[in-house]
Amino acid sequence: MFQFGTISHIGARDFCGYSIRLLGGLLIGLNAYMTVALAADPTEIGIGYLRRAKVEQTLSLVEQPAADDGIAGARLAIEDNNTTGKFLNQHFTLEEVRLKEGEDAAKVAVALADRNIAFIIADLPADQLLKAADALRDRGTVLFNAGAIDDRLREEDCRVNIFHVAPTRSMLADGLAQYLVWKQWKRWLMVVGSHEQDRLFADALRRAASRFGAKIVQERVFEDTGGARRTDSGVTLIQRQMPVFTQQAPAYDVLVAADESEVFASYLPYRTWDPRPVAGSAGLIPKSWDAAQDQWGAVQMQNRFLKLNSRRMTALDMQAWTAARMIGEATSRVNSGDRKAVVDFLKGPDFSVAAFKGQRLTLRPWNQQLRQPILLADGRMVVSVSPQEGFLHQVSELDTLGVDQPETKCKLH
Amino acid sequence: MWRLCLLTGTAFWGTAFWLAGTLPANAFLAYVSNEKSNTVSVIDTDQWAVVKTIKVGQRPRGIEFTRDGKFVLVAVGDDDTIQMIDTATQEVVDTLPSGPDPELFIQDKAGKVLYVANENDNTVTLIDLTRRARMGDVQVGVEPEGMAMSPDGKILINTSETTNMAHFIDTETRQIVANVLVGSRPRFAAFKSDGSELWVSSEVGGTVSIVDPVKHVVTSKITFEIPGLRREAIQPVGISITPDDKTAFIALGPANRVAVVDTATHQVVKYLLVGQRVWHMAFTPDNKFLLVTNGVSNDVSVIDVAALKVIKTIQVGELPWGITIAKP
């Protein structure tokens, strides 16, 4: 800086030039400062999306998930978040990673955290999700479970750094059971597949029947004997096989099928020996979202999705959209991208998210599961939305779906 | 000569009495858009009955008289246009280029510019009503719906349902000058006639935010509590404030009630039970009655404003949505 003592030695002209240069430098500096202050860089919020390696083949050609199933929903939510973010000086980006077959989900999740990603939306099988959550425990990174419906993740295996956006098997089973009981279709013939996940769904359906007053008159197991799922003229064989498989059942109102493995359930509607509706994994299906959902402003949602992704929306797409929107909702309310502020807001009493299902969705504080209505869809229309009228609850009627707080095994850790 | 006089005299008085019989002094006409049946029901407020049903385009929602009373504009969202109903003939005579999926709209004070919320596009489209042509647009938040005009005509308000904001737009520069975060899923906005407060309803949030239009902050929130009714069923949508700014009426959607609010204290003084899924509302020009649309029960409830009582229910078309009332 100036040394006033030396000015007397410089002389008037030099002093003038010196002053002008100094003033010019100050002005340039000031201008640069003002430019920076006027157009401050937006707060960058990176959201990771971790996708499972394999997508299962479905029996129905029209139900086969698209290559971008799930992530397409997250991409739309990033756009929606950025539209809002324009007004808040926040900018969102999606970092997409697809696991390779056999790759360790924990390693990939940690790699995302290393790139300073604070929030990761995960569409992973339960065990991989837990491995990733445990690897990230001390990093402060939070996972949003958009894909796994296992109840144990919200019960004995609950984790404090996972928010569950996907519904549980018990929520889906309860949503279906409430409607069947409301309809007075209380006698169920249950057909269960031979794989673990089929049995888990059957457990949830059995629990729902007992809870809401339905009676499973008989259970049958459909063995998976292998072979190609889709054959050129297999339908003529299926037409004979299904009636025979379902004959001689005790009197029942509805056939409830537990077939998450996609082996047989889609073959049952209109082929049962007795003329009966099918529900569960085929026929009337409980899900968090459907392309036919048009109530409560959903048409706008469906149109935006169709425009961006050139196809219709699935439940996984909506679960991913909701996860990304939860983050966007939190960042707009706390006006910050700081991970602690966001997570504290999500866990607080003021958080809720609107998701076109007629009421605000909130998080269950004991296990961080997103409460939500369950749609019952037949592939063309949404037939009903649970919880059904008449099923009451002291805290929230949405808690009549799934495992409730007094029953929970979860101790968040 | 006297026979001619008698004849014309009788004719004159006959016509006068006939006219008086068919058009009573205080009769107004309420136009109701029926979202599902694609019609507009016209209600005579003297008979309290539907006197005409007009066939319109697909998915009619926003509906409003032009300032000169000559037309009723109705947004037919699935046809991506706004239709103009001639009030003299009660027929659709023209359309306006509204941008895709128009829902709600508002005119400027002079009735020359129409501002339309295009939900699918995140825009507000401006239409020149004289030339019946599009003149520009403003980019807003996700799913714009609610539209309001400040009493001095300088600020246009648009609410975005998924962005959860009320955007303040300068009508001269067409620039957004402020954004205020409100409760979840804001549907409707209304100014007090003295311009001192902006009220914004949040359907999913279950509240009505009172916004200071100068400081651009939410100064308070009105919450609702109805014994025996779960909170999630209370979903505020339409708002109407009496011209003296003393009383506000708020439609609470599936709570099937209209809340009556003292605007000084921002407290609910009464809940009026109306039909199912009460949505939007309008005062008769003499402010004696408030008519509200009940989407799910397919009817319109008539509220006596002074007595704060529901006096009548009128069956209309399917899924009645919006309502606008003026002298015939």
Q: Which long-range contacts (CB under 8 A, 24 or more apart) does A310-314 make?
A: A311/A66, A311/A72, A313/A72, A313/A73, A313/A289, A314/A65, A314/A66, A314/A69, A314/A70, A314/A289
As a whole number, mean pLDDT of residues B67-92 equals: 95
Please judge whether B143 and A359 are an interchain contact, meaning their C-beta atoms are less than 8 angstroms apart: no
Distance from CA of B195 to the nearest CA of A (A): 24
pLDDT value at residue B3? 73
B294 touches B320 (CB < 8 A): yes
Minimum mean pLDDT range among A110-114, B230-234, B321-325 = B230-234
pLDDT value at residue B230? 85
Measured at the CA of A102, the angle between CA A101 and CA A107, to 5 degrees, comes to 110
Chain A residue closest to B120 (CA)?
A300
Helix axes A298-309, A71-88, angle to 10 degrees: 110
Q: What are the angstrom distances between the C-alpha of A262 and each of A223, A232, A336, B172, B211?
A: 12, 18, 44, 60, 53
DSSP letter at B83 equals E
Helix axes A315-334, A71-88, angle to 10 degrees: 20
pLDDT tens-digit map of A177-197: 999 999 999 999 999 999 999
Tell how strand B239-241 and strand A162-164 pair up.
unpaired
Chain B residues touching residue A385 (CB < 8 angstroms): none
Tell how strand B39-44 and strand B123-128 pair up.
unpaired
| Domain locations along chain A | 43-167+289-372, 171-287
Q: Six-digit token pair at A91?
A: 């900018």
B189 touches B280 (CB < 8 A): no
Torsional class of B6: left (φ above 0), alpha (ψ -120 to 50), beta (otherwise) = alpha
pLDDT tens-digit map of B219-268: 999 999 999 888 888 999 999 999 999 999 999 999 999 999 999 999 99
Please judge whether A352 and B184 are an interchain contact, meaning their C-beta atoms are less than 8 angstroms apart: yes
Between CA A128 and CA A103 the distance in angstroms is: 10
> Any alpha helices (H) in B35-124, and if so which ranges?
none
B80 close to A (CB below 8 A): no
B204 close to A (CB below 8 A): yes
What's the mean pLDDT when you consider all of chain B?
92
B40 touches B75 (CB < 8 A): no
CATH number of this structure's domain A171-287, picked from the four choices 3.50.50.60, 3.40.50.2300, 3.40.50.970, 2.40.10.10: 3.40.50.2300
Q: Which 3 state secondary structure label does DSSP give B12? A: helix
Between CA A296 and CA A315 the distance in angstroms is: 17
**Domain B27-326 homologous superfamily, CATH:** YVTN repeat-like/Quinoprotein amine dehydrogenase (2.130.10.10)
What's the mean pLDDT when you consider all of chain A?
91
Closest partner residue to B179 among A87, A329, A353, by Cβ? A87
Distance from CA of A80 to the nearest CA of B (A): 6
**Best mutation target, B121, B145, B162, B224, to test chain A (most A CBs within 10 A):** B162
**Best mutation target, A78, A79, A80, A87, to test chain B (most B CBs within 10 A):** A87
B103 close to A (CB below 8 A): no
Percent of chain B with pLDDT over 70: 92
Do A171-287 and A43-167+289-372 fall under one CATH topology?
yes
pLDDT value at residue A21? 58
- In the chain, the amino acid numbered B8 is T
pLDDT tens-digit map of A196-217: 999 999 999 999 999 999 999 9
How far is C-alpha B297 from the geometric centre of its chain's CA atoms? Answer: 19
Q: Which residues of A1-25 are buried (b: 16+ CB within 10 A; e: fewer)?
A: eeeeeeeeeeeeeeeeeeeeeeeee
- Name the CATH topology of A43-167+289-372: Rossmann fold (3.40.50)
Phi, psi dihedral angles at A119 (to 5 degrees): -125, 125
Please judge whether B120 and A304 are an interchain contact, meaning their C-beta atoms are less than 8 angstroms apart: yes
ipTM: 0.78
pLDDT of residue B110 exceeding 50, the answer is yes
Between CA B318 and CA B323 the distance in angstroms is: 14
The residue among A83, A56, A85, A84 whose CA lies nearest residue A69 is A56
Between CA A352 and CA A354 the distance in angstroms is: 7
pLDDT tens-digit map of B180-200: 999 999 999 999 999 999 999
Q: Six-digit token pair at A404?
A: 């409730």
pLDDT value at residue A29? 46
pLDDT of residue A39 exceeding 60, the answer is no
Distance from CA of A27 to the nearest CA of B (A): 29
Between CA B309 and CA B258 the distance in angstroms is: 11
The residue among A314, A302, A317, A296 whose CA lies nearest residue A379 is A314
As a whole number, mean pLDDT of residues A11-18 equals: 53
Q: Please give the model's pTM, rounded to 2 decimal places.
A: 0.85
Distance from CA of B145 to the nearest CA of A (A): 11
pLDDT of residue A19 exceeding 90, the answer is no
pLDDT of residue A17 exceeding 60, the answer is no
As a whole number, mean pLDDT of residues A113-138 equals: 96
Distance from CA of B300 to the nearest CA of A (A): 21
pLDDT value at residue A5? 39
Name the B residues in 143-182 with CB < 8 Å from any A CB: 143, 160-165, 167, 176, 179, 181
